[in-house]
Chain A
Amino acid sequence: MADEKTESPASPEKKEPLFNTIARTVRQSKIWKSIFRHGYQDTPRNRALMVLSNVFLHLHPVKTRPAALKFRYTWGLGGLSFYLFILLTVTGVFLMFYYRPTIEHAYWDMKDLRYAVPFGPFLRNIHRWSAHVMVLFVMLHMASVFYRSAYKPPREYNWVVGVILLLITFLLSFTGYLLPWDQLAIWAVTVGTNMAAATPLLGSEGPFAIVGPDMDARFILLGSKIVGQSGLLRFYVLHCVFLPLIFLVFVSVHLWRVRKDEFSAIPLPPKEEKKKGVLPEAWLKAHPEELQKKVFTWPALVSKEFVGALVLTAVLTLWSILAHAPLEGLANPNKTPNPSKAPWYFVGLQELLVYFDPWMAGVVLPTVILVGLMAIPYIDINPTGIGYYNFKNRKFAVSMFTFGIVFWFALIFIGYYMRGPGWEMYMPWQAWDYHRISKAGAMHNMPNWAGLALVLGYGGIGMLLPKLCFKDFYKKLGPIKYVVVMSLVLLMFFVPVKIVLRNFFNIKYIISFPDFNLNL
């Protein structure tokens, strides 16, 4: 009683301060306990409960291998892509309060957002920039998963789900592109949907068309032959309801599979072992206990995810303060801007329109790319490299994938930064000249017999040569996988072949059957 400093709350004789009494009563109430189910003491039990008793954090495992926590392993790309989806949903719902998907109002609602809605510009900017970043992150996430072989067994299925998510991300961004209803929007979507009209069989302008322009693939997308009111409404519903729901379904499966299949990362051997050239797989066989070393996800992983999301939010906020989302003049279907460009992630395909007819550049090649990506885990039978970056032991797979992805981004760069009026080539620092005379030479077609011979020869030699040169290659893969792999590879290299033929030999088509709209 004499010494108040030694007073402890445990002693019942001491009078408890009023604040403490209230706090204790609140903490012991049923309401408090039904929300905060366990205390904050830093015990292993609570660390586990943090994850287990929370439906959102429950997407994580309770414990993870430390290798998966390294930033330089995942680059945080998957988690951040998902975070961007949440950010886009939230900002998108806010934007929906101010937006009417009609051609009378859509553009003017953008102006209202810009000038009269509190925080309207910020809302629109961050939605726009986040969407771009999400498309980029999803692509990079795919690349990083490829390079650390995380698609190999048992994660083949989840890789396919990931490719579907990539496609949905593209479609989400593409449908959103139309909604501001300005010149940029309407013409980018015109470029995109005209490619749908070039679908073989089901597109009115494609090869072997069996349907007219009033019932083809483009008409299904737009509800019309051109981008108009019905197209705007369809894109709005797709963008705000249909695609996000589909995305949510697939992303749930995606995250759940990550939980079930575990993070792929494996512990790496110490430096001196690495120098001797010991592969992590071999080292782990000698040290199986290393695989069992795990840490609690809370806080080791969750804190990093939180900080990553925070940093990304800060960057996006700064970007949204510094730059306004583009808004050009009111959409006018009668005035085509020159050049009209697709959204940047499709500009690579648009660039291919120089070298291929739309049915090839806009339909066949993207389809083959997607199917080819999905096929990767089933045709890549090399078991090394799972869970760490290994290029040495998978040279073929890595070089093919790298060529493809660099080529994809190079085409985007050329199309986006180096094409001016009339799709003429300009250096990025060169000013566009609308009055420049095209220097392109006169194009001619190869005779069909020569073209057929060239295509068959390219395919035949391409198929046979690796089999003859690398016997092992064929033996390991077996006939079916070999044919699939070589078809994909040959098709990929066919694109640069066509680029060379056109630019250096002025050859427009190798094979041309104008009666069927079939030109190659």
Chain B
Amino acid sequence: MKRSVWNKLFILSGFSLGFMAGYLIWQESTPEWMPVQKEYYRRLAQVTGDPTRAKMPLKVEQIYLPQFHKTDRCITCHAGIDNPKLADQPQPFRSHPDLGIPGFLAAHPFREIGCTVCHEGQGMATTKEAAHGRVKHWEEPLLDKDLVVSNCSVCHDNVFELKGAEKLAEAKILFDTKGCIGCHALNGVGNQIGPELSDTGKKALDELDFRNVHGAHTVANWIYDHFKDPQRIVPEDKAVGIPESAMPNYEFTEEQNRALTALVLSFAAAKEDEHHPIPAKYRVPAPSHKEEKKVYASKAEQGKAAFKSYGCTACHGLEGRGGVRNKNMFPGEEVPSLVYVSAGFTKEEMKTVIQVGRYPARADSGGMSPPLWMPSWKGKIPEEEIDAIVEYLYTLNPDLGTKKEGQIVVAPQQ
């Protein structure tokens, strides 16, 4: 009686092991990519009129890139990537378009540089989900088409003059005119009120708060949603002790948001990646421009340029007209306008404020400290330019000339 239990177990486990071994062999011999590659060769035979092509042996194809520390197996399915005869085929068979840029295809030999260097995704994987990187623990999934431009800066030093990267150039103009470096440092240039931007694009997913992000949890989606509505993405978080995002909502257009997202991603792409280095021979250095010494019509003109280039507009608004929200700030929960500073400060006092910086008063003394503050600019702006900025600010007062100098229009804040 007892033996029969063991006999049954023997038969049961023996059969199930045999069955599972069969399943494993079947699984191994029918990978997901196989029918795709077969279809590719069928189409290739059709296009070239050479029926022997349809009977090519099926195998995992890879671009082995030891100098990049990469192996891209994308061409196992996207096998026609560099065959112009397949230009009209649907994905994944079609060849790579030339993007309307003459010389693009010749300059980017895919079998030499691979795919993931621009498109990202998991090059080593051989299933669609995993290869496109839309799996857990793969933090660089396939980039959206309009964001791939951000990876031009992996090799190209001056992307803003690059043909095909016009989007980045547009975004860079926005970046400069809105005065982003007034709060954010980029490679150390700028202020520390907001986070440094040069590595934002390479942040780990668990460093970002995705609770309010729509769509997939990718760094690109986070940045994009944050441009759309900063306070929704970074609300006040008492557990971690951070106030809500101080970044103004600039109400950019959809297109501008996408372009700015690509720009922020490109900052990180430009930095050297220790795991996937770019060999020097692939790097395209920026053409050397001669630094031209700019000549200004007046000290105030120089100040105006400096006011823009140091990012003062980010908080104080275009031409110092203010209007940027600063939660819990006294007075008015807004960064002060600078239009009437000439009425409240002497030039010496203004210079001191710029050099030393100041923390705003709180409207509600029990609340959080206002997220924006005036940083100390000493050492960041040359003294000559600070003087010029003060001169410029003095020209902003629309009442200048109609009112006597020294007359108080707005009481200076203490």
Chain A residues engaging chain B, CB cutoff 8 angstroms: 104, 108, 111-112, 114-116, 118-119, 122, 182-183, 303-304, 306-307, 310-311, 313-314, 317-318, 321, 327-330, 332, 335, 337-338, 434-438
The 9 closest A-B pairs by CB, nearest first: A314-B13, A111-B124, A435-B239, A311-B13, A115-B126, A328-B137, A437-B239, A310-B13, A307-B10
Q: Which A residues are CB-close (under 8 A) to B240?
A: 435
Task: Across the interface, name the chain A residue whose C-beta is closest to B124.
Answer: A111
Q: Which B residues are CB-close (under 8 A) to A328?
A: 137
A319 to chain B minimum Cβ distance, whole angstroms, is 11
Q: Which listed residue (A303, A307, A437) contacts B13, Cβ 8 A?
A: A307
A327 to B130 CA separation, bound complex (whole angstroms): 13
Seed contacts A306-B10, A311-B9; 7 additional CB < 8 Å A-B pairs? A313-B17, A317-B20, A337-B206, A435-B209, A435-B240, A437-B239, A438-B239
A108 to B240 CA separation, bound complex (whole angstroms): 35
- Interface residues in B12-36 by Cβ distance below 8 A to A read 13-14, 16-17, 20-21, 23-24, 28
Q: Which B residues are CB-close (under 8 A) to A327?
A: 137
Task: Across the interface, name the chain A residue whose C-beta is closest to B126.
Answer: A115
- In the complex, are the beta carbons of A338 and B204 less than 8 A apart? no
B21 to chain A minimum Cβ distance, whole angstroms, is 8
- In the complex, are the beta carbons of A314 and B20 less than 8 A apart? yes
A303 to B6 CA separation, bound complex (whole angstroms): 9
A-B contact pairs, 10 of them (CB 8 A): A112-B124, A306-B10, A307-B9, A310-B9, A313-B17, A318-B20, A328-B137, A329-B138, A335-B204, A435-B240
Interface string of B203-220 (1 = CB under 8 A from A): 010110101000000000
A335 to B202 CA separation, bound complex (whole angstroms): 12
A133 to chain B minimum Cβ distance, whole angstroms, is 15
Q: Which B residues are CB-close (under 8 A) to A304?
A: 6
Asked if B88 is at the interface of the complex by the 8 Å CB criterion, the answer is no
- In the complex, are the beta carbons of A335 and B6 less than 8 A apart? no
| B residues contacting the other copy or chain, number (CB 8 A) | 36
- In the complex, are the beta carbons of A118 and B28 less than 8 A apart? yes
With contact pairs A314-B13, A329-B137, A329-B138 given, residues A119 and B124 touching in the complex (Cβ less than 8 Å) = no
Asked if B178 is at the interface of the complex by the 8 Å CB criterion, the answer is no
A416 to B325 CA separation, bound complex (whole angstroms): 45
B125 to chain A minimum Cβ distance, whole angstroms, is 5
Interface string of B227-243 (1 = CB under 8 A from A): 00000000001111000
- Interface residues in B56-112 by Cβ distance below 8 A to A read 60, 62, 69, 71, 73
B271 to chain A minimum Cβ distance, whole angstroms, is 14
Q: Which A residues are CB-close (under 8 A) to B120?
A: none
Q: Which A residues are CB-close (under 8 A) to B206?
A: 335, 337-338
Interface string of B158-177 (1 = CB under 8 A from A): 00000000000000000000
- In the complex, are the beta carbons of B16 and A314 less than 8 A apart? yes
A62 to B14 CA separation, bound complex (whole angstroms): 27
A182 to B138 CA separation, bound complex (whole angstroms): 11
With contact pairs A111-B125, A303-B6, A317-B20 given, residues A435 and B237 touching in the complex (Cβ less than 8 Å) = yes
Q: Which B residues are CB-close (under 8 A) to A337?
A: 206
- In the complex, are the beta carbons of A115 and B238 less than 8 A apart? no
A119 to chain B minimum Cβ distance, whole angstroms, is 6
Asked if B275 is at the interface of the complex by the 8 Å CB criterion, the answer is yes
Task: Across the interface, name the chain B residue whose C-beta is closest to A184.
Answer: B137
Q: Which A residues are CB-close (under 8 A) to B122?
A: 111
- In the complex, are the beta carbons of A119 and B14 less than 8 A apart? no
- In the complex, are the beta carbons of A115 and B124 less than 8 A apart? yes
Task: Across the interface, name the chain B residue whose C-beta is closest to A309.
Answer: B13
Task: Across the interface, name the chain B residue whose C-beta is closest to A334.
Answer: B204
Q: Which B residues are CB-close (under 8 A) to A435?
A: 209, 211, 237-240
Q: Which A residues are CB-close (under 8 A) to B20?
A: 314, 317-318, 321
A238 to chain B minimum Cβ distance, whole angstroms, is 26
Asked if B139 is at the interface of the complex by the 8 Å CB criterion, the answer is yes
A339 to chain B minimum Cβ distance, whole angstroms, is 11
With contact pairs A330-B275, A435-B240 given, residues A116 and B73 touching in the complex (Cβ less than 8 Å) = yes
Q: Which B residues are CB-close (under 8 A) to A119?
A: 24, 28
A267 to chain B minimum Cβ distance, whole angstroms, is 16
A437 to B139 CA separation, bound complex (whole angstroms): 28
A304 to B207 CA separation, bound complex (whole angstroms): 53
Task: Across the interface, name the chain A residue whose C-beta is closest to B31.
Answer: A115
- In the complex, are the beta carbons of A437 and B238 less than 8 A apart? yes
B1 to chain A minimum Cβ distance, whole angstroms, is 14
Q: Which listed residue (B69, B125, B237) contacts A104, Cβ 8 A?
A: B69
B69 to chain A minimum Cβ distance, whole angstroms, is 7
Q: Which B residues are CB-close (under 8 A) to A108?
A: 69, 71, 124
- In the complex, are the beta carbons of A317 and B124 less than 8 A apart? no
With contact pairs A330-B275, A435-B240 given, residues A314 and B17 touching in the complex (Cβ less than 8 Å) = yes
A434 to B13 CA separation, bound complex (whole angstroms): 45
Residue among B13, B16, B130, B237 having the largest count of chain A Cβ atoms under 10 Å:
B13
A114 to B137 CA separation, bound complex (whole angstroms): 14
B385 to chain A minimum Cβ distance, whole angstroms, is 37
Residue among A314, A328, A438 having the largest count of chain B Cβ atoms under 10 Å:
A314
A423 to B71 CA separation, bound complex (whole angstroms): 38
- In the complex, are the beta carbons of A116 and B24 less than 8 A apart? no
- In the complex, are the beta carbons of A317 and B204 less than 8 A apart? no
B243 to chain A minimum Cβ distance, whole angstroms, is 14
- In the complex, are the beta carbons of A317 and B17 less than 8 A apart? yes
A313 to B28 CA separation, bound complex (whole angstroms): 20
Task: Across the interface, name the chain B residue whose C-beta is closest to A321.
Answer: B20
Interface string of B127-150 (1 = CB under 8 A from A): 100100000011100000000000
B219 to chain A minimum Cβ distance, whole angstroms, is 13
A303 to B207 CA separation, bound complex (whole angstroms): 56
- In the complex, are the beta carbons of A313 and B13 less than 8 A apart? yes
A196 to chain B minimum Cβ distance, whole angstroms, is 27
A116 to B73 CA separation, bound complex (whole angstroms): 9
- In the complex, are the beta carbons of B13 and A321 less than 8 A apart? no
Q: Which A residues are CB-close (under 8 A) to B130?
A: 115
A304 to B394 CA separation, bound complex (whole angstroms): 97
Q: Which B residues are CB-close (under 8 A) to A118?
A: 28
A333 to chain B minimum Cβ distance, whole angstroms, is 12
- In the complex, are the beta carbons of B6 and A307 less than 8 A apart? yes
A135 to B240 CA separation, bound complex (whole angstroms): 38
A317 to B13 CA separation, bound complex (whole angstroms): 11
With contact pairs A304-B6, A310-B10 given, residues A115 and B125 touching in the complex (Cβ less than 8 Å) = yes
Task: Across the interface, name the chain A residue whose C-beta is closest to B123.
Answer: A111
A250 to B53 CA separation, bound complex (whole angstroms): 60
Q: Which A residues are CB-close (under 8 A) to B204?
A: 329, 332, 335
Q: Which B residues are CB-close (under 8 A) to A329?
A: 137-139, 204
A310 to B347 CA separation, bound complex (whole angstroms): 90
Q: Which listed residue (B17, B21, B126) contacts A116, Cβ 8 A?
A: B126
Q: Which A residues are CB-close (under 8 A) to B17?
A: 310, 313-314, 317
